[in-house]
Amino acid sequence: MTLTVREALLAFRRAPLLSALSVTTIAFSLFVLGLFGLVAVNLRQALRGVAERVEIVAYLLPGTPIETVLLGEQDIEAFPEVASAVHISEDSALARARRELVEFRDLLRELERNPLPASIEVKLKPGFQDATHVNAVAERLRGFGFVDDVRFGRDWVEKLDKLRRLAAAVGVVVGAAFATVAVIIIGTTIRMAVLQRSREIAIMRLVGATDGFIRRPFLLQGALKGLLGGLVAIAFSYAAYALINRFLIESSFFTLPQALGIVVFGTVIGLMGSLLSVGRHLRRV
C-alpha cells in the first residue's frame, strides 16, 4: 500500500509538467460542466420562486356561517397537496384592496356596501405546483357547498409547466453533452499519462510485477488527478460565481453536496480512465 502511494506520488514528481497539465485539463473540462451546473441550479431556483406564487382562490357564497368556513378551511388544509389554506373575510379583503389598489382608493372608500366576497386562499406544496395538481385541487374545492367560484391563473400555470419541462429537457441534454465531453477529455488526458509510461509498464512486467501491482499506482494517480481537477474546477466556478454576483446578477452557488458531486465525478472519471487505459495496456504488452 505504501509502495502504491509512493509510486503514485513519484509519478507526479518525475513528470511535474505533464501532471500539472493533465490536472489543468481536467479542471477546465469540469469547470465548463460546473458553469453549466451553475446556470441550471439558478434557473431551477428561479422557477421554484415563480412556482411558489401558484395560488388557488376559492370565493365563498355570501352569508356562509363562519363555523362552516373554518371547518372547510381545516378540511382543505388536510389535502395532501396543500401547504396552507387561509380564510380572508369580506372585511379583510376590502382592507387589502384599499391598501394594494391605490388607484381605486377613493372609489373603495366611498362604497356603502362591501362588494368583495370572502375567500379561502390555497397554496400548494412544492412538487404539486403543476397544472394537473392545481386543476385537481380546484375541482375538489368546487365540491364544497359554500364555494361560489374557484380561480387560478390557468394559462399562467400551464406556461410555467411548459417552461419547467423545457428547462429540465435542456438541462439533461446539455448537461449530458458537457459531461460526455468532460469524460472524453479526462479519459484522453489520463490515457496519455499511461502511454507516456508504457515502456515503464513493459519493464515492470518483465521483472515479474503482477498486473495489480502495476495498476494500483496508476489508479491512485488517476483518481488524484481527477480529485485535484475537481477541486480546482470548484474554485474556478466559485470565482466565476463571485464575479457574476458582483457585476451581473445575484445568483446562488452550489450546495455542498452538489460541489462534492462534481469533485467525486472528476475522481471517478480519473479512476475509470486509468483503469481502462492501463487495462488495455496490460492486455497488449
Partner 1 sequence: MIKFTNVFKTYAKGGLALKDVSFHIAKGEFAFLTGHSGAGKSTVLKLVYADERPSSGEVRVSGYAVADLTPRDVPHLRRRLGIVFQDFRLLEDRTAEENVAFALEVTGARRSAIPARVMRVLTQVGLAAKAGAYPRELSGGEQQRVAIARALVNEPQVLLADEPTGNLDERATRGVFQLLRDINASGTAVVMATHDLEMVRSAPYRVIELQEGGVVYDSAVDEPTVGDAQA
| Residues forming the site for partner 1 (CB under 8 A) | 3, 14, 199-200, 202-211, 213
With respect to partner 1, which residue has the nearer C-beta, 77 or 211? 211
- CB 283, min distance to partner 1, A: 9
Number of Cβ within a 10 Å radius of residue 102:
9
- CB 231, min distance to partner 1, A: 27
**Is residue 147 helix, strand or coil?**
strand
**Could you give the C-alpha distances from 205 to 32, 49, 195, 214, 219, in angstroms and in order?**
39, 60, 15, 8, 17
Place of cell 401547504: 83
* Contact assessment for residue 82 and residue 51, using Cβ atoms and an 8 Å cutoff: no
* Contact assessment for residue 122 and residue 85, using Cβ atoms and an 8 Å cutoff: yes
With respect to partner 1, which residue has the nearer C-beta, 176 or 203? 203
- CB 268, min distance to partner 1, A: 26
With respect to partner 1, which residue has the nearer C-beta, 129 or 221? 221
Helix (H) or strand (E) holding 120: strand 119-124
* Contact assessment for residue 81 and residue 124, using Cβ atoms and an 8 Å cutoff: yes
* Contact assessment for residue 76 and residue 120, using Cβ atoms and an 8 Å cutoff: yes
- CB 213, min distance to partner 1, A: 6
Q: Look up residue 92 and give its amino acid.
A: S
With respect to partner 1, which residue has the nearer C-beta, 201 or 228? 201
* CA angle (43, 45, 50) in 5-degree steps: 95
With respect to partner 1, which residue has the nearer C-beta, 126 or 212? 212
* Contact assessment for residue 60 and residue 119, using Cβ atoms and an 8 Å cutoff: yes
With respect to partner 1, which residue has the nearer C-beta, 121 or 200? 200
- CB 189, min distance to partner 1, A: 20
- CB 223, min distance to partner 1, A: 22
With respect to partner 1, which residue has the nearer C-beta, 45 or 196? 196
With respect to partner 1, which residue has the nearer C-beta, 152 or 218? 218
The Cα–Cα gap between 32 and 233 comes to: 8
Place of cell 459531461: 179
Closest CA to 152 of 47, 79, 55, 86: 55
- CB 224, min distance to partner 1, A: 19
- CB 285, min distance to partner 1, A: 9
* Contact assessment for residue 128 and residue 135, using Cβ atoms and an 8 Å cutoff: no
